[in-house]
Amino acid sequence: EVQLVESGGGLVQPGGSLRLSCAASGFTFEYYSMSWVRQAPGKGLEWVSVISGNGASSYYTDSVKARFIISRDNSKSTLFLQMNRLRAEDTAVYFCAKGRGTRWPATSDDSWGQGTLVTVSS
């Protein structure tokens, strides 16, 4: 059974940093692209970033480019999101998601974690 468990969320001041982790199990992690998707309180889904299975390719939505870094450790089946220079508008639940199939990029995400809440406030 695929399991994705996010951690690392919390309260951080504007301008601060936070590192999210997503521990994966139940599948061969290195074969699949992984994404981060966020959801601000009471709002819809917003795609944040994606990384290929081997970690060689990664992409970001414009609002986080140059502030967030996606990475992965395939030896530990773990996905990361390093978030720097955080802003109030980054406040959201952050979900990690597994790409469906081994195609790059995947055309959908077929497994999702339960999310971790990031609150940016002074």
Q: Which stretch binds other proteins (CB under 8 A): 18-26, 37-45, 70-78, 82-90?
A: 37-45
Q: Does 47 help bind other proteins (rule: CB under 8 A)?
A: yes
End-to-end CA distance of the chain: 40
Taking CB under 8 A as the criterion, the residue among 113, 116, 118, 120 binding other proteins is 113
Residue closer to other proteins, measured from CB, 82 or 104: 104
C-alpha–C-alpha distance, residues 5 and 97, integer Å = 10
Q: Does 81 help bind other proteins (rule: CB under 8 A)?
A: no
The amino acid that residue 50 corresponds to is V
Q: Which two tokens stand for residue 27?
A: 């599948």
C-alpha–C-alpha distance, residues 52 and 72, integer Å = 9
Q: Does 107 help bind other proteins (rule: CB under 8 A)?
A: yes
CB atoms inside a 10 Å sphere around CB 60: 17
Binding site for other proteins (CB under 8 A): 35, 37, 44-47, 50, 59-62, 95, 97, 100, 105-115
